[in-house]
Amino acid sequence: MAIVAGVSVMPVSLPPPRVPSPLTELRDDRFAARGLRLWLKRDDLIHPELPGNKWRKLKYNLAAARAGGHGTLLTFGGAYSNHLRATAAAGALYGFATIGVVRGEELAGRPLNPSLAYCAERGMRLVFVDRTTYRRRTDPGLAAELSAAQGPFLLIPEGGSNPAAVRGCAELPAEIDVPHDVVAVACGTGGTLAGIAAGLGAGRRALGIAVLKGGFLPAEVAALQRRTYGAPSGNWHVADGFHHGGYARTSEELQAFLADFEHRHAVALDEVYVGKLLFALTTLAERGVFAPGTGIVAVKTG
């Protein structure tokens, strides 16, 4: 089932997280003309190797691992997974061994790409599995097979989204000290949105911008809130028309927007997550979706 690769490394010294993350108002005529204010929550500056929602999602998972006496973390991801990178960095920073189960058995034996090479340099043991096996990643039976082969571990799901991650993300709204009505975030697995919505004060709402096709995120977010708090909070919405073709897909329109945004604000946006978030917010503002006077906080997760 699995092929293992990895290297032995010395522990590394990494700086502590920077929280609360900075909050910057963006002066943008497309928002100002409609009576809107826009802030950027710079979660990408929390840590150079554990940026944004990665730190927030892992925080309580790491605490649970420590409290439970676990010395090893195991998680799942694709060949370019930011979550695998963050888990490897967290292991190096906090003294955990890490195992990354990577989708694509055909990658075994090939030179590691930069993302997987980084994981290996941080001491992560890479386990390559075929795509049929990877689809079983939520199956307890696969976890048992991996434990028998790799030894005991604390399992963190793909993307890091579980109740511990939701509780970590729920701390973000308390850091916002500007007048706001909406907190918006790009969504992959839904954990960040589930947490932010749960942490909002009365009268405020959360907006998730889906970066994948499929329309499955509302059910995922609701399920995460039920597992964490017993019921969905009801103060969030997912907009799924801004994925530009799907995960990691782009378009000429999106590329033009990213270049223009960097020219206007001297802030570079990635095309996978945050670029799609700001594109969506700008489009919705120009459509008149937000009432005049609305304050919007966009979370730059990476």
pLDDT per residue, tens digit, the chain (302 aa), is 555 554 444 445 557 788 999 999 999 999 999 999 999 999 999 998 887 789 999 999 999 999 999 999 999 999 988 899 999 999 999 999 999 999 998 888 899 999 999 999 999 999 999 999 999 999 999 999 999 999 999 999 998 999 999 999 999 999 999 999 999 999 998 999 999 999 999 999 999 999 999 899 999 999 999 999 999 999 999 999 999 999 889 999 999 999 999 999 999 999 999 999 999 999 999 999 999 999 999 999 98
Distance CA 87, CA 54 (A): 8
Q: Are residues 141 and 279 in the same domain?
A: no
Domain co-membership, 210 together with 283: yes
Total number of domains constituting the chain: 2
What local confidence, expressed as pLDDT, does residue 14 receive? 59
Q: Say if CB 200 and CB 226 are below 8 A apart.
A: no
Classify the C-alpha dihedral 76-77-78-80 as positive or negative.
negative
What integer pLDDT is reported at residue 13 of this predicted model? 58
Residues 42 and 178 in one domain: yes
In a domain, 193, yes or no: yes
Tokens describing residue 115: 């993302």
User: Is residue 54 assigned to a domain?
Assistant: no
What residues make up the domain containing 206? Answer: 23-48+162-299
Q: What CATH number did the domain enclosing 285 receive?
A: 3.40.50.1100
Instruction: State whether 34 and 177 are in the same domain.
Output: yes
Own/partner long-range contacts of 115-120 (Cβ < 8 Å, ≥24 apart): 115/79, 115/80, 115/81, 115/82, 115/84, 115/85, 116/79, 116/84, 118/85, 118/88, 119/84, 119/85, 119/88, 120/5, 120/6, 120/7
Question: Looking at the structure, do residues 37 and 169 belong to the same domain, yes or no?
Answer: yes
Q: Same domain for 145 and 180?
A: no
Q: Is the full-model pTM beyond 0.85?
A: yes
Residue ending a domain, choose from 152, 178, 210? 152
* Last residue in a domain, options 117, 152, 187: 152
